[in-house]
Amino acid sequence: MIQSFSALALNGFREARRNRITLVIGFFAVAMLACTTLVTEVTIHTFNRVLTDVGLGVMSVMLVLLAIFLSSGLLSREIERRTVFLIVSKPISRGLFLAGRLAGNMLTLTVLLVGMAAVFFFQMSLYRDGITSTQFVAIGVLWFELLLLSSFGFVMSSFSSQIVSAVVTTGMYFAGHLATDVYNISAKSKTEAIRVLGKVTYYLLPNLSRLNYRPQASYAVQVAPNEILSSVAYGTAYAGVLVVVAMLLFSRRDFK
């Protein structure tokens, strides 16, 4: 089982590595990150803050785009191209196939995240006191945000086309970051129904702002370990539920 899982995961990574879009986004992201130094040319003070802000922002945007692109097409593309026929007919469960594919996706994102983080920290090392522990926290927790987003794209991909999956996952990304605002705004309403609706929406949507420590990294604010653990546990649990849903949908699906 472990052999099949790792074979699928490494194959997923190989697929992404040989995909031109992944390569272009990857190179573009690293180039943009390298160019963030130029921002300091128009900044009088607080180079560290501006670099952290722009650098982490670029990493986040690029990796989120890639996570949506990769996850939304992963299963639907396999089904449309019928590549899935040759794989799920092997002596492996559909759940293992799905887990292996998700792991391959996350491996790709992890390699890119590590590469981009290396460029980012190299730049920050050029400044005195440029590197802070909160930057590590922001980058580490970004991985869980990518995991959650990929899992959501995966669920969508198990029953809909790539375009639909990508659009809904993108919408979910923005909605997830606005979940707290939805809750706060609806809480101020005088209508009970809207307050309840706001609350239900808040609990159903993935609260992606819980996985965003980029503002704290920009201002070099220390984050309590308990809070980090709680956010990581939240992201992992939410992604876990989504993966289980994807497995249930995928295991019942007919490949016509």
- At its nearest, how many Å lie between another protein and the CB of residue 93? 6
- Residue with Cβ nearer another protein (100 or 206): 100
CA distances from 3 to 10, 59, 93, 105 (A): 10, 32, 13, 17
The kind and range of the H/E element at 48 are: helix 47-81
What x/- string results for residues 110 through 149 when contact with another protein is judged by CB under 8 A? ----------------------------------------
Cβ neighbour number for residue 27 with a 10 Å cutoff: 10
Among 24, 82, 184, 241, binds another protein (CB under 8 A): 82
Do the beta carbons of residue 71 and residue 164 sit within 8 Å?
no
What is the C-alpha separation between 81 and 74, in angstroms, rounded?
Answer: 11
Should residue 249 be labelled a site residue for another protein when binding is judged by CB under 8 A? Answer: no
- Residue with Cβ nearer another protein (94 or 199): 94
What is the C-alpha separation between 156 and 162, in angstroms, rounded?
Answer: 8
- Residue with Cβ nearer another protein (74 or 141): 74
Do the beta carbons of residue 145 and residue 208 sit within 8 Å?
yes
Residue entry with tokens 């979940």: 179
What x/- string results for residues 10 through 39 when contact with another protein is judged by CB under 8 A? -x--xx--xx--------------------
Q: Kindly determine how many residues on this chain lie close enough to bind another protein according to the rule CB under 8 A.
A: 25
What is the C-alpha separation between 235 and 246, in angstroms, rounded?
Answer: 16
- Residue with Cβ nearer another protein (97 or 120): 97
Among 93, 133, 184, 189, binds another protein (CB under 8 A): 93
Residues that bind another protein (CB under 8 A): 3-4, 7-8, 11, 14-15, 18-19, 81-83, 85-93, 252, 254-256
